[in-house]
């Protein structure tokens, strides 16, 4: 049995922690591909990135996401993940306005 974990995740882009509602989870699927996991509930090794394209780009370009997930992403994967990530941002309303505390 493990102790209860607080709902704090560390963003692999900028390396700081936030409440899990303010990050997007990426998950490594059994076949080694990386998917966006908007619910945060998918099985597999996960990594968290703030709901920020800047953090996303840092995580991708510095290959933090590949080391965190111990897999590889190619250019096609990056394009696909960026599109999915942007869709999550839109759904959460973080593109055009900010909710709550800044």
The residue of the chain with the least Cβ separation from Zn ion equals 11
The CA radius of gyration of the chain, in Å to the nearest whole number, is 13
The residue among 11 and 47 lying less far from Zn ion, judged by its C-beta, is 11
The residue among 17 and 33 lying less far from Zn ion, judged by its C-beta, is 17
Residue 53 interacts with Zn ion (CB under 5 A): yes or no: no
Query: Distance between CA atoms of 70 and 99, rounded to whole angstroms?
Result: 34
Binding mask 5-44 for Zn ion (x = CB under 5 A): ------x-xx------------------------------
> C-alpha angle with apex 89: 75 to 4, nearest 5 degrees?
100
Residue 55 interacts with Zn ion (CB under 5 A): yes or no: yes
Query: Distance between CA atoms of 44 and 7, rounded to whole angstroms?
Result: 18
Query: Which strand (E) or helix (H) includes residue 70?
Result: none
Number of residues binding to Zn ion, judged by CB under 5 A: 5
CB proximity list for 93: less than 8 A, separation 6 or greater: 99
Min dist. Cβ of residue 88 to Zn ion (A): 14
The residue among 11 and 27 lying less far from Zn ion, judged by its C-beta, is 11
């Amino acid at each position: 049995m493990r102790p209860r974990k607080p709902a704090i995740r560390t963003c692999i882009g900028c390396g700081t922690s936030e409440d899990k509602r303010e990050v997007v989870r990426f998950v490594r699927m059994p076949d080694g591909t990386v998917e966006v996991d908007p619910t945060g509930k998918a099985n597999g090794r996960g990594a968290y990135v703030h709901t920020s394209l800047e953090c996303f780009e840092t995580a991708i370009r510095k290959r933090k996401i590949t080391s965190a997930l111990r897999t590889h992403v190619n250019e096609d994967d990056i394009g696909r993940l960026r599109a999915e990530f942007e869709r999550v941002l839109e759904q959460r309303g973080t593109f055009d306005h900010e909710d709550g505390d800044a």
